[in-house]
Amino acid sequence: MNIKSAEENHSLSVSDNESKKIEKKLIRAAQNGDNAAFGKLIRLHQKRLFKFIYGLLRDFDTVEDIVQESFVKAYHAIKTFRTEYSFYPWLSTIARNLAYNHVAREEKKESLEKLQDAGFAPPSLKLGPLDELIESENGKRFYEALSEMSSKYSSVFVLRHFEQMDYAEIASYLKIPPGTVDSRLFRARQILMEKLKEFL
Q: Are residues 132 and 68 in the same domain?
A: no
Q: Are residues 20 and 98 in the same domain?
A: yes
Q: Are residues 75 and 166 in the same domain?
A: no
In a domain, 180, yes or no: yes
**Comparing 51-65, 69-83, 102-116, 144-158, which segment has the lowest mean pLDDT?**
102-116
| Average pLDDT over every residue of 59-67 | 88
> Which one has a higher pLDDT value, 107 or 102?
102
Query: Full-prediction pTM beyond 0.75?
Result: no
In a domain, 46, yes or no: yes
Distance CA 68, CA 46 (A): 9
User: Which residues does 154 contact at the CB level (< 8 Å), separation at least 6?
Assistant: 146, 147, 188
Distance CA 146, CA 139 (A): 11
Domain region containing 134: 126-200
User: Given a cut of 60, is residue 196 above it in pLDDT?
Assistant: yes
In a domain, 178, yes or no: yes
The confidence band for 15, taking pLDDT boundaries of 50, 70 and 90, is: low
DSSP letter (8 states) at residue 163: S
pLDDT at 131: 55
pLDDT at 5: 45
